[in-house]
Amino acid sequence: MRYGKFASVYDGLMEDIPYEQYAERVAKHVQSGKILDLACGTGVLSQLFAEIGFDVTASDLSEEMLTVANQRFQEAGLQIPVLQLSMDNLEGLSGFDVVTIAIDSLNYLETEKQVQRTFQEVHAALNDGGHFFFDVHSLHKVDNVYLNGPFTLDAEDIAYIWHTEPGDHEHSIIHDITFFVRQNRWFERFEETHEQRTFAVSLYRKWLEETGFTVESITADFTDEEPNEESERIFFHARK
């Protein structure tokens, strides 16, 4: 799924994501080395990794997202290479100490095989002993929380109406979002449709272990607590 015009408003909509806390979670386990930030979006997390001392490579499938990320890195004076790749096809990348797939980006993969292929690609890209961090929506969030819509935002320069409905697969959700973005005196209207799918924690663990990873921890909602039935975001830390 390409993000299109969504890239231009993405950062404003993600202001409540604690990116610093995400970077700290990674740095608690590994303090330096080469890190591959998959599905990097506009590069907020990539920049944080670089600022705390990692040698960062940023990758995303969306050309629009990478354009914004490149501009961010240039303005910050950072030399971060960017690659336009799908997370399930890393084209032989290797030599990384850490790989991250942050902010439920893995949920954009449609099939079980794509998730398994992504784990295989990440495993191949990591050095022995390397760390893999990712997070996903819980079943509860996809099956229950997201269906409590529609959701709305009415801010000074942007507004949206966000409708959700069940997707074609079990534990999947379709997001239909209509944006209104201020352009001088007028508001531009555009629409985005995104579909996400998640799986049971036990399946993610199974696929990681089948790939050859050791699962270090599974926690929830930016805490060190194990997931429960009400958890919304599930964090995985695995090692090669």
Q: Are residues 190 and 214 located together in one domain of the fold? A: no
pLDDT at 3 over 50: no
16 is written with which tokens? 């409540």
pLDDT (mean) for 14-20: 76
- Least-confidence region, from 13-22, 83-92, 177-186: 13-22
pLDDT confidence band for 122 (50 / 70 / 90): very high
Q: Are residues 117 and 167 located together in one domain of the fold? A: no
- Output 8-11 pairs: Cβ under 8 A, ≥24 positions apart: 8/64, 8/68, 8/181, 9/158, 9/179, 9/181, 10/41, 10/42, 10/65, 10/68, 11/42, 11/44, 11/68
For 157-197, how does the pLDDT look when each residue is reduced to its tens digit (9 = 90+)? 888 888 999 999 999 999 998 888 788 888 888 888 889 99
CATH of the domain at 165: 2.20.25.110
Q: Are residues 78 and 107 located together in one domain of the fold? A: yes
Q: Are residues 38 and 15 located together in one domain of the fold? A: yes
Q: For residue 9, report the phi and psi dihedrals to the nearest 5 degrees.
A: -115, 0
State the pTM of this model.
0.91
What pLDDT, on a 0 to 100 scale, did the predictor assign at position 145?
A: 95
Show Cβ contacts of residue 206 under 8 Å, excluding neighbours closer than 6 positions.
none
Cβ atoms 66, 39 nearer than 8 A: no
Cβ atoms 83, 51 nearer than 8 A: no
Quote the domain boundaries for residue 157.
141-196
pLDDT at 90 over 80: yes
How many structural domains is the chain composed of?
2
145 is written with which tokens? 């929380």
What DSSP element (H or E) covers 140?
helix 139-143
Q: Are residues 36 and 116 located together in one domain of the fold? A: yes
pLDDT at 53 over 90: yes
